Structure 1
Amino acid sequence: MRRFAWLGLLLAPLCMAGESRVYLLANVELGGTTFGQSVLLHEADITRLEDCESVRLQSLRDKDWGRYHHVFQRHKAKGYTVQISYRCVLSEQAFEAWHDRDRYDHTYLFLVDGEQRLRVEKTANMARCTTQLASLRLPAGTQAHCAKSNQRLLVP
């Protein structure tokens, strides 16, 4: 019985293909550079954008991320202007869980439309991503950026 429980946990992200999940998209940019890191944080019991937005606003106000817990190590970015932004999004794509110590070796193009729907495309490297981003003709209300991530895209 225990074996089947573990199998269910391993396959859970794959079974959710086609279902939208709510993520908090956290993006860190170093001012004056093209360097960016993005992570997708997911709380299983937050299933509506409105709930995510409420948690986001309260966490920013209280400076306490009890939900969508993460820590940004500012001391490692000395000498840079660091911009951190948070956005609640919906995506049918599934990602590995975020772990702060994993290497940021995945490069993605992040696209968020006017209805907060996220689409992530894997790219070979930041140079290719930036070139692809520059060639896009984005519909009104759509925002896009390139960033490194330490999360693998499970369901494209």
Structure 2
Amino acid sequence: MRLPHLELPETGGLLVALDRLGPGRTVLYVYPFTGRPDRDLPSGWDSIPGARGCTPEACGFRDHHGELRAAGAAAVFGVSSQDSPYQREVVERLRLPFAMLSDPALTLTGALGLPTFTAGGRTFYRRLTLIIRDGAIEHVFYPVFPPDRHAAQVLDWLRSAPR
């Protein structure tokens, strides 16, 4: 499936056009919500299957970033419905070597039919990963479990999939 023209802000302040990510593969991991030590999680968060694990997932992509690039990922991005200032704090606190994309209007859900869930009166993405190659979705990881080992799963796929 080709990606529609959508531009999402990234934590560095630029807009990223998902249909123009450039040649090669891009790993776009979509996640619900990264908690912060100074803020409460949405009401009922711990009772929702698959909601927990965003920080360990991000750290997995951080820890495997060099290997992902060596295995053919031209870029790695995380995307959630959190705004860019919130995500900028996460990038700094977790020392992520890649940018996060912000989609507070859940435009990816409208454009691609991505799955969501509701907690605390808000709608969040369900966890999944898209491998995008030359403007089209090449592979989808869904469901994602366990989140702390997902980056290694993506790395294994990249190493085994022909370029």
- TM score, norm. by length of structure 2: 0.33
- TM score, norm. by length of structure 1: 0.34
Which is higher, the Rg of structure 1 or of structure 2?
1
User: In proportion to residue count, which structure has more strand?
Assistant: 1
